[in-house]
A and B are shown apart, each in its own frame.
Chain A
Amino acid sequence: MQSLRWRIIIALTVLVLGLAYMLPSLPGVQGSSLAKFLPGDSINLGLDLKGGIHLTLGVDLDTALENNLDRIGDDLKAVAKEDDIYLLRPTVMPGDKIQAILLKKEQQEAFEEIVKKNFESLKIDGTEAMDDGRVRYVFGITTEYRKYFTKMTMEQAIKTIRNRIDQFGVAEPDIRRQEGNRIQIQLPGIQDPERAIKLIGRTAHLEFKLVDETANPQGALPPGSAIYQMQRRLANGTYAESPIVLKKDTVLTGEFITNAYVSYDRNVPYVGINFDNKGSRIFERLTGDNVGKRMAIVLDGKVYSAPTIQDKISGGRASITGHFTDEEARDLAVVLRAGSLPAPINILEQRTVGPSLGQESIDKGIQSAYIGMIAVLVFMVIYYGIAGAIADLVLVLNIMLIMAGLAAFGATLTLPGIAGIILTIGMAVDANVIIFERIREELRRGLTARAAIDEGYGKATLTIFDANVTTVIAAVILYNFGTGPIRGFAVTLTLGIITSMFTAIFVSRILFDAYVKNRADSTKLSI
């Protein structure tokens, strides 16, 4: 009994803390003068409750690696050339390999030295002397490089996506890398999901290529040229495509862009871009060397425009015109500013919930929780009398602590999470029922009220502990293997079990001890 005071102090401390953490989540308290004295955290609502987009994206690492090998091959040729070693244009082969043909057999040693010195990522998989004195090399990539490449590509993809989303202005985006090549994105409260998805998934690989004026799209193509599709927006809003022949070599890419913005020319929007110093120099030389020729602006493999170069352009500015709508121009500026994705991206999973559905779900969920809870509360008082009222009191306290816990840990409340709370109500009642039934048994054996309570709590506590530990095991596993909403359920269930152990064993014991304090010799209890 001595310790009753201390137990009351502990219980009250938890109660006050719980109240402080729970209150900010109530709609009436937010923004009121009371809110200033409370912690700032309120309960995070899941996407299923407030509406928004959940996306799982798969980064196409294979394509990214292939493109990268292509670049490495070009480098290889260029670096070797500096030492007067000549290679046929290296090609990428299936299985992430590069094939390169060395023209002169006697340069083998020097060539291998260059590879070893400059290309740590490559390993020689095989050499084969050919009849005409040439040597065929097959290069593979080292496992370290593959790991490094995967990591870099994923990091860059996430960074680029984050930049784009930031530009889009979403309040609390959640972007995280998942196992393998997957990225998970959650965007709460988005109004126009399709536009957001388009913006995120666009590769935005910008290239400048020269138009091959000598070739005819219908005729045979000269080596080094290829057919592209030029896109044109018609007056009715649809697009038409026409073939155009471009030189394969890319003269400039989007990697030198420092800024992109929307401007208007006679009310027609276009996207202006600024280059950094290096980009400006390349662009100046390029335009100077090709006056009178046409230069195509290629975005993600589609030609947007192919203006004729009138004059040398210095100052590092260029513009992309292409009969855009305002929105298209804005989105294009966003993706160019945010940088291009290092690899194409596929949408593997998409869940879009409209805000109205979220509101309806939460209303119904909360309503059914209230009704279920009230039914239980009424039942407990009818069945157990004053003891039932004590159980009810700690039950309400329990729910408050769950809410406080959710807010304090920054956990997310989802619809299955509400179901988890409701289930916890059932389980919390269980703890009290186990205790009460034990006390009843002990009273029947003729123990005094106080002794029966001591015995009842003592024997029930272990049982409750065993029963709850198994549920916590299930919940922890659920959390580890689950995704989104299921995790929410696991969190509320775990939180609910922990708080119910505290309230049903610790707090209710205080109330019982206080209740029998002055009737130690009685054998009667309202239970």
Chain B
Amino acid sequence: MGLQFIKPDTNIDFIGFRKIAFIISILVILAGVGSLILKGGPKYGIDFAGGMIVQVKTDNPVEVKELKEALKEVELPGMVVQSFGQEGDNEYLIRTSSSDITSAEVRDQVSSALSANLKNAKYEIQRLEMVGPKVGADLRSKALEAMFYAVLFIAIYISGRFEQRWMAAAIMAGGLIGGQWVLGFTGLDIGWTIIGMLFITVGLCWYLRLNYALGAVVALIHDVMITVGIFSILGKEFDLTIIAALLTIIGYSLNDTIIVFDRIRENIKGQDKANFGSLINKSINQTLSRTILTSGTTLLVVLSLFVLGGGVIHDFALALLIGIGVGTYSSIFVASPILLGFGPATIEEEGDKATA
């Protein structure tokens, strides 16, 4: 056999670490939520907030300060100049919060200011993006909807697939659709509606004792919250590509959780059901090798994207890096302990399965 990182007889007591892990998770989530509250919500990029971006590339390095100086006479509301991509790319972003002016005007003003005032470098306008406020709001609610439906369908799939309780899954779907209908009357912002829906999802999973789904859903809400929190702490912007990254994280986190759950389900058959905790531990240890290898190879690829992929996908890769790390952690330290917390019911229900 080839190399082995994890010895076959490894038996780490992961479940024993669950209290420490919960404390760590809660602290990180609180830090993220605190940062979001302090900063007055997520920092939206132009995709969601509306506004304009002009990306400029120069042939020689230019200080951001120098560029700002050159653009002084261009009076755009909320203008921000920042460097972009890696060092040596000489790429800069000029943003403005307004979309009242036409893109042609902005292009003209920026070009003429740069031609007149930027002495040492030639420049080229590489990209210009304008998103109106209405489209921005639409994109935002669509993105949130996408996240919500992803969680919903996945919860239903897991309940049906893992516990053969399609009826319960159907009841949950019905409850959710009803909940959405009721929340629709409150006229709340889509963001709050979705938070409400997530509470309903978790509550329904708990009430219907859909334990696998509960573990998986809590784990992925955990992962998304941590990634969003870290992004907020780092002062990164949320745009459409970050939403794509968050959805990938949801997919990946579940992937990881399901492989552990799959092993738990397999080990339950014909086992002494008294000690569910050690059964979970055994399952995590059995899949540990795979977990580390897969996360390792995926992180290797994402790291290469992060370092070499260029400015446009830099933040996307960062979100994936955080999310895949957290997703691996959560399948071991969040999803499985939650399954344990509601465990005995699961084992008893194994017997009722035929009637369910």
Please choose the segment from A75-83, A123-131, A334-342, A473-481 that sits at the chain B interface, where 4 or more of its residues have CB less than 8 A away.
A473-481
B312 contacts the other chain (Cβ, under 8 Å)?
yes
A527 contacts the other chain (Cβ, under 8 Å)?
yes
Cβ–Cβ contact B297 & A480, under 8 A:
no
Cβ–Cβ contact A426 & B309, under 8 A:
no
In the bound complex, how far is the Cα of B301 from the Cα of A429, in angstroms?
11
* B320 shortest CB reach to chain A, Å: 7
A443 contacts the other chain (Cβ, under 8 Å)?
yes
Cβ–Cβ contact B302 & A426, under 8 A:
yes
In the bound complex, how far is the Cα of B7 from the Cα of A444, in angstroms?
12
In the bound complex, how far is the Cα of B103 from the Cα of A198, in angstroms?
11
Query: Chain B residues near A360 (CB, 8 Å)?
Result: 310
B142 contacts the other chain (Cβ, under 8 Å)?
yes
A520 contacts the other chain (Cβ, under 8 Å)?
no
Query: Chain B residues near A459 (CB, 8 Å)?
Result: 266
In the bound complex, how far is the Cα of B313 from the Cα of A419, in angstroms?
8
Question: With A368-B308, A422-B301 given, is the CB distance from A470 to B258 under 8 Å?
Answer: yes
Q: Which of A56, A197, A367, A385 contacts B308 (CB 8 A)?
A: A367
Q: Which of A48, A354, A382, A466 contacts B3 (CB 8 A)?
A: A382
Cβ–Cβ contact A419 & B126, under 8 A:
no
Query: Chain A residues near B157 (CB, 8 Å)?
Result: 469-470, 473
Cβ–Cβ contact B142 & A481, under 8 A:
yes
Cβ–Cβ contact B154 & A473, under 8 A:
yes
Query: Chain A residues near B303 (CB, 8 Å)?
Result: 372
Cβ–Cβ contact B146 & A416, under 8 A:
no
A408 contacts the other chain (Cβ, under 8 Å)?
no
Please choose the segment from A12-20, A139-147, A240-248, A432-440 that sits at the chain B interface, where 4 or more of its residues have CB less than 8 A away.
A432-440
In the bound complex, how far is the Cα of B57 from the Cα of A353, in angstroms?
12
Query: Chain B residues near A419 (CB, 8 Å)?
Result: 305, 309, 313, 316-317, 320
Please choose the segment from B37-45, B62-70, B249-257 that sits at the chain A interface, where 4 or more of its residues have CB less than 8 A away.
B249-257
Cβ–Cβ contact B128 & A466, under 8 A:
no
Cβ–Cβ contact A347 & B2, under 8 A:
no
Cβ–Cβ contact B262 & A466, under 8 A:
yes
Q: Which of B128-175 contact A (CB under 8 A)?
A: 128-132, 134-135, 139, 142-143, 145-146, 149-150, 153-154, 157-158, 161
Q: Which of A359-394 contact B (CB under 8 A)?
A: 360-361, 364-365, 367-369, 371-373, 375-376, 379-380, 382-385, 387-388
A173 contacts the other chain (Cβ, under 8 Å)?
no
* A189 shortest CB reach to chain B, Å: 14
Q: Please name the residue on chain A nearest to B301 by beta carbon.
A: A372
Cβ–Cβ contact B304 & A371, under 8 A:
yes
B26 contacts the other chain (Cβ, under 8 Å)?
no
Query: Chain B residues near A361 (CB, 8 Å)?
Result: 310, 312-313
Question: With A353-B126, A430-B294 given, is the CB distance from A415 to B304 under 8 Å?
Answer: no
A250 contacts the other chain (Cβ, under 8 Å)?
no
Cβ–Cβ contact A423 & B150, under 8 A:
no
Query: Chain A residues near B300 (CB, 8 Å)?
Result: 372, 375-376, 379, 426
Cβ–Cβ contact A371 & B262, under 8 A:
no
Question: With A376-B301, A463-B262 given, is the CB distance from A350 to B103 under 8 Å?
Answer: yes
Q: Please name the residue on chain A nearest to B141 by beta carbon.
A: A481
In the bound complex, how far is the Cα of B148 from the Cα of A478, in angstroms?
11
- 10 residue pairs of the A-B complex, CB under 8 angstroms, read A197-B104, A352-B128, A376-B301, A379-B300, A415-B312, A426-B301, A463-B263, A470-B258, A471-B255, A473-B150
The 10 A-B residue pairs with the shortest CB-CB distance, nearest first, are A426-B298, A372-B304, A481-B146, A364-B310, A372-B301, A368-B308, A474-B251, A357-B126, A471-B251, A430-B294
